[in-house]
């Protein structure tokens, strides 16, 4: 059995949590009657730990909970409920990251992770620092709600 450092284990756990969070948001969606796409990103606000996107009436927050650990929250009505995290970490740790906001996408880059948010339609992609795909929204299934 290979030996893993605590940091490598945290990165792995963070990726698993991230995959589960994204899967819970879009993994089971089939767009039938009642499903409405939240639309294109109209505004990007920078936060101390990430960004908040506004798309129509919805808001999406993408925040770093630590190096390699990202949380995506969606408030379809624009109002986030009480902040309850299912993350395994006890308390968020600051992560160093940069934000590149272009006309078509927002890119958040940390030491080990890159989050690319396509603005229209709103799609999220996660890669490692080398550009290897870790997780991505299905292009035909942008963020949506059925109320």
Quick: pLDDT tens for 64-119.
988 988 999 999 999 988 877 666 677 778 789 999 999 999 999 999 999 999 99
**How far from 8 is each of 2, 11, 69, CA to CA, in Å?**
12, 5, 12
Quick check: 15 and 127 in contact, CB under 8 A?
no
Q: What is the pTM of this model?
A: 0.74
Query: Cα-flanking dihedrals φ and ψ of residue 19, to 5°?
Result: -60, -45
Residue 21 lies in a domain: yes
User: What residues contact residue 115 under an 8 Å CB cut-off, 6+ apart?
Assistant: 62, 70, 107, 108, 109, 124, 125, 126
- In tens, the pLDDT along 16-33 reads 566 555 555 544 444 456
Domain range enclosing 18: 6-80+88-145
Tokens 């995959």 belong to which residue? 19
Residue 12 · residue 19 · CB < 8 Å: no
Query: How many angstroms separate the CA atoms of 50 and 10, rounded?
Result: 20
| pLDDT value for 5 | 57
Q: pLDDT at position 34, please?
A: 75
pLDDT at 123: 94
How many structural domains does the chain have? 1
Query: Alpha-carbon distance 44 to 38, whole Å?
Result: 15
Which CATH number goes with the domain that contains 48? 2.60.40.1760
Asked whether residue 1 is domain-assigned, the answer is no
């Amino acid at each position: 059995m290979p030996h893993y450092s605590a940091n490598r284990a945290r990165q792995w756990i963070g990726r698993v949590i991230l995959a589960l969070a994204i899967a819970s948001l879009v993994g089971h969606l089939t767009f039938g009657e009642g499903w409405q796409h939240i639309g294109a990103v109209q505004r990007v606000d920078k936060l101390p730990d990430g960004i908040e996107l506004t798309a129509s009436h919805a808001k999406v927050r993408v925040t770093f909970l630590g190096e390699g650990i990202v949380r995506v929250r969606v408030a379809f009505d624009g109002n986030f409920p009480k902040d309850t995290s299912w993350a395994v970490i006890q308390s968020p740790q600051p992560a160093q990251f940069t934000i590149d906001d272009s006309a078509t996408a927002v890119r958040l880059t940390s030491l080990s992770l890159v989050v690319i948010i396509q603005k229209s339609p709103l799609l999220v992609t996660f890669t490692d620092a080398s550009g290897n795909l870790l997780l991505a929204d299905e292009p035909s299934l942008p963020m949506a709600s059925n109320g």
